[in-house]
Amino acid sequence: MTATEPTKATTGVPFTLNGRELEAEQGELLIDAAERNGVHIPRFCYHSRMTPVGMCRMCLVEVDGGRGPSLQPSCMLPVTPDMKVNTESDATVKAQDGVLELLLINHPLDCPVCDKGGECPLQDNAYAYGPGESRFVEEKRHYEKPIPISDLVHLDRERCILCDRCTRFADEVAGDPLIHFMGRGADTQVNTFPDHPFSSYFSGNVVQICPVGALTASPYRFKARPWDFAETESTATTDSSGARVVLQSSRDRLVRTLGVDSDAVNWSWLSDKERFSYEAANSDNRVTQPLIADEGDLRQARWATAARAFAHGLGVGASKVGVLGGARLPLEGQYAWSKLLKGTAGIDNIDAQLGDGLSPELVLASPRSTISGAMAAGSTVILLGADLKEELPTLFLRARHAATNGHIKLIELTARATSLSPFAAARLHTQPGTAGQVAAALAGDETDRAVGGVQSSEFAKAHALLRGGGPVTIIVGRSNLAESAAVVADATAQLQALCPGAAILPILRRGNINGALEMGLTPGFLPGGRKLGSSPSGWPTEPADVGLDAEGILRAAADGELSTLVLLGADPLADYPDRDLVIRAFDAVDTILAVDTFLTESSSRASVVLPAAMFGETDGSFMNLEGRVPPLRAQVTAPGQARADWMIAVEVADALGADLGFDT
């Protein structure tokens, strides 16, 4: 129902808009057709990514469909042939003026203290279409204001104009119908159910789409005014979906992140993690100076001194060093560190995945799908392993939309029910570890095999669906960390054999992990997905042998085979599945070197900590799960002496006596 995928017509629908002869697309809503032709019809409830409801009545225009002119809501009205529309007629103007007056009578008009002031559709429309003066002398509606409806979102019911955007988003887009209308008539209000807070992973979106200041986000409340912003378009880096965002800052501090309506990726939606993680950049606990351990304490040091100490720790021989992390870095930083570690120091014990990922061979060698390609009408999507809502929430919203609107056939091959199960066409819930056997059985001719604990009826459905033709995308992730990644790799291979041409979307949650793999921050690979030794890199040196992965590095360290452990923005004590192994590894190595934005549990054990600039502080690029490379933009200054990751690599290379060949 959303206008995002209008049916492309071979012939347009002719209609008249304010006397102009125009053409609309088949089934196109009048409000969209007018917008496309430069005529903005005011609206509050209409949102192009959600089902129109025609509630606010702001978009009423005078339409003559052949039976005389009448006022019609343009957000509910598909253009029909020879429709005559007048958005400037006296009747239209009067209706819009009247609706605005009615919307404003109970609105508190506390614009001077309202966060929305200055960017408020109600304000803007009141200026453009409103009556200018109030005739309402009665007492306005009063509610307690504002009430927290979750940890992040505050609701001011007095400001609310009951447009159904937030409630529609919660129900229709996010599938978390935790806010709803209550009461009736003029006493209608949006609220949560008693004792059920609006605890949605997507709660921040309702703040963004609220056309008034009724919903505000606690991290932003009273922090800035829209006319004070500096802003830039960037990419969210908290997971690998690569959602497009606008970063807004005031007085050199990030104050807000908004989702950008990117057709290819996030459709303007963001998960709360993507939306609110900018707060980390403003934290008082950032590492702002290079630190060197001195008798058990980390003390501030000069960059040159710290870089020399870091280089000293690296110079113990390629086979004695292990490097963990690198998924936080932008592509440029990843390449610089890859060139430093692999191309200069010859180290290959490097892994950006901390035991929670997929094999780099699978990710780098498989044909890659796109989100829009996977979710296109007529596609079949196999969800292997992971629960999308937990791993990549914005991709979950796209998949949920595609599945609930019948665009895709979803086959689940997971160890348990996921948040997409209600919309799946076939649910193959396997016993852990048996995904490969189920996938192999699907390739066979038998349709009712009892394998892997899968229900035979569901097996038969999947068996038939996979033979139905149409493009197939396999979304590949890990069910849980106890199950080996090899199970997933095996199942993927079986499915790829069954569906020739099937493309994959890897579900790796770490921010720029796809970039890290592409840049060679994984054992056995050089940038560009080239295998070690397959072709000359042009670098001064190359690792002699394929190195160890994260588990191998930690085991080798625990066994005393490594003397230096480098943490490139990694916190394995908190983040690696086997904490005990990490503790033993940390205890056994001589030196821990860290490049980090915070003193984490792990980096505070380091003997050298180099402060890195983070999200919003450096320009660069990102690679999302599709292989798309959107830019990252610096919006604020990195605190203290924190530097971009590639600069840190250059600094360390300098201390090693090498030249990475970069300059600003």
Partner 1 sequence: MERDPHQLIEGCVITCYALGLNQCFLYVRGEIPLAHERVAFSAQRCLCRRFVGKNIMGTDVSIDVVLHWGAGAHIVGEETALIESLEGKRHAPSQPRFLAAKGLYMKPTIVNNVETLANVPWLMNNGAAAYKQFGSEKSPGTRMVAISGHVKRPGVYEVEQGVITFRDLLYGDNYAQGIRDDNGLKAFVPGGGSAPWFFEEQLDVPLEGSAAGPEGSMLGSGAIMVMDDTTDAVRAALRLVRFYARESCGKCTPCREGTAWEEKVLQRILDGHGRPNDIDLLLSIGENISPGPYPVASFPTNGLAAVPFPPKQTTICPLGPSSVAPITSAIRRFRDEFEAKIPAAASTPTDHAHGDQDHDATPAVGDHH
Closer to partner 1 by CB, 145 or 584: give it.
145
Can residue 57 be called a binding residue for partner 1 (CB under 8 A)? yes
Closer to partner 1 by CB, 66 or 657: give it.
66
Can residue 8 be called a binding residue for partner 1 (CB under 8 A)? no
- The piece of 100-108, 527-535, 573-581, 641-649 that touches partner 1 (CB under 8 A) is 100-108
Can residue 136 be called a binding residue for partner 1 (CB under 8 A)? yes
Q: DSSP characters for 40-57?
A: PPP-SS--TTS-----S-
- Per-residue DSSP letter, 172: I
Site string for partner 1, 334-363 (x = CB under 8 A): ------------------------------
Other beta carbons within 10 angstroms of residue 11's beta carbon come to: 8
Residue with tokens 């806010």: 179
Q: For the CB of residue 405, give the shortest distance to partner 1 in the complex, in Å.
A: 14
Residue with tokens 């690998």: 240
Can residue 101 be called a binding residue for partner 1 (CB under 8 A)? yes
Most distant CA atoms of the chain, gap in Å:
89
Q: Which of 66, 67, 132, 139 binds partner 1 (CB under 8 A)?
A: 139
Residues within window 205-234 making contact with partner 1, judged by CB under 8 A: 222
Can residue 129 be called a binding residue for partner 1 (CB under 8 A)? no
Closer to partner 1 by CB, 115 or 651: give it.
115
Amino acid present at 224: A
Q: CB–CB of 524/544 below 8 Å?
A: no
Q: For the CB of residue 214, give the shortest distance to partner 1 in the complex, in Å.
A: 13
Residues within window 161-190 making contact with partner 1, judged by CB under 8 A: 161-162, 181, 183-188
Give the chain's end-to-end CA distance (angstroms, integer).
Answer: 49
- Mention every residue, 6+ apart, whose C-beta is less than 8 A from residue 500: none
- The piece of 144-152, 347-355, 518-526, 547-555 that touches partner 1 (CB under 8 A) is 144-152
Strands 426-429 vs 350-351: parallel, antiparallel or unpaired: unpaired
Report the alpha-carbon distance of residue 628 to residue 518 in Å, rounded.
12
Can residue 98 be called a binding residue for partner 1 (CB under 8 A)? yes
- The piece of 7-15, 52-60, 326-334, 412-420 that touches partner 1 (CB under 8 A) is 52-60
Cβ burial of 77 (10 Å; 0-12, 13-18, 19+) is buried
Q: What are phi and psi of 205, to 5 degrees?
A: -65, -35
- The piece of 140-148, 238-246, 439-447, 642-650 that touches partner 1 (CB under 8 A) is 140-148
In 130-210, which ranges are continuous DSSP H helix?
A: 165-168, 204-209
Can residue 448 be called a binding residue for partner 1 (CB under 8 A)? no
Closer to partner 1 by CB, 52 or 527: give it.
52
Q: CB–CB of 623/331 below 8 Å?
A: yes
Report the alpha-carbon distance of residue 496 to residue 538 in Å, rounded.
34
Cβ burial of 285 (10 Å; 0-12, 13-18, 19+) is exposed
Closer to partner 1 by CB, 70 or 456: give it.
70
Report the alpha-carbon distance of residue 561 to residue 519 in Å, rounded.
26
- The piece of 28-36, 95-103, 354-362, 568-576 that touches partner 1 (CB under 8 A) is 95-103
Closer to partner 1 by CB, 78 or 552: give it.
78
Report the alpha-carbon distance of residue 27 to residue 187 in Å, rounded.
36
Closer to partner 1 by CB, 188 or 455: give it.
188
Closer to partner 1 by CB, 162 or 517: give it.
162
Closer to partner 1 by CB, 106 or 237: give it.
106
Residues that bind partner 1 (CB under 8 A): 53-58, 60, 70-71, 73, 76, 91, 94-95, 98-99, 101-103, 105-106, 110, 113, 135-139, 141-146, 161-162, 181, 183-188, 222
